[in-house]
């Protein structure tokens, strides 16, 4: 009888322990999702403006801001605020363009293009229509 009681008691304790553990794990998980993840890269987004007169060779920052530093996983959206078409194309005009790099294609005025950066590196990009337009995203 005593042994049986002991067994039932132990099972109840185990059950209780399990419930508490799951509860604690849920709270930790939720806290992590709500506060830690957003403060890191996930969901972080930045905007780069293609400025007015960006194709003018004297334009010092046709893509603004550039260079732009972001954490891995961040999303960058380029908006064409100029009154002429441009592209956002990974690589540089010297032909150093990766085969699977991002490319907005022709962006008419007012159009935007978004890319998410999954790995670290200094990522160069340019405008295929105006090779003086250079930009860089530094992914840390």
CB of 73 to Cu ion, least distance (A): 28
Q: What part of residues 34-93 is at the interface with Cu ion (CB under 5 A)?
A: 55, 86
The helix/strand count (H/E) of the chain reads as 2, 8
Site string for Cu ion, 83-112 (x = CB under 5 A): ---x--------------------------
Contacts of 138 (CB under 8 A, 6+ apart): 67, 68, 69, 70, 121, 122, 123
Question: Is 129 a binder of Cu ion (CB under 5 A)?
Answer: yes
Q: How far is CA 10 from CA 18, 20, 24, 111, in A?
A: 12, 15, 21, 66
CB of 131 to Cu ion, least distance (A): 9
Specify the stretch interacting with Cu ion by CB under 5 A; choose among 5-13, 32-40, 107-115, 121-129: 121-129
Examine residue 130 and tell whether it contacts Cu ion (CB under 5 A).
yes
- Is the torsion defined by CA of 73, 140, 69, 61 positive or negative? negative
Answer yes or no whether residue 127 interacts with Cu ion by CB under 5 A. yes
Binding site for Cu ion (CB under 5 A): 55, 86, 127, 129-130, 133
């Amino acid at each position: 009888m005593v042994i049986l009681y002991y067994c039932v008691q132990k099972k109840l304790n185990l059950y209780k322990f399990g419930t508490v553990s799951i509860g604690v794990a849920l709270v930790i998980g939720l806290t992590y999702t709500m506060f830690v993840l957003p403060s890191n890269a996930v969901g972080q987004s930045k905007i780069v403006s293609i400025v007015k007169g960006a194709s003018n060779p004297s334009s010092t920052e046709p893509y603004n801001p550039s260079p732009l530093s972001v954490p891995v996983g961040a999303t960058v959206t380029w908006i064409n605020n100029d009154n002429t078409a441009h592209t956002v194309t990974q690589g540089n005009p010297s032909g150093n363009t990766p085969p699977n790099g991002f490319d907005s294609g022709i962006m008419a005025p007012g159009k935007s293009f978004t890319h998410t950066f999954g790995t670290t590196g200094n990522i160069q990009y340019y405008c295929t229509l105006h090779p003086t337009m250079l930009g860089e995203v530094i992914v840390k």
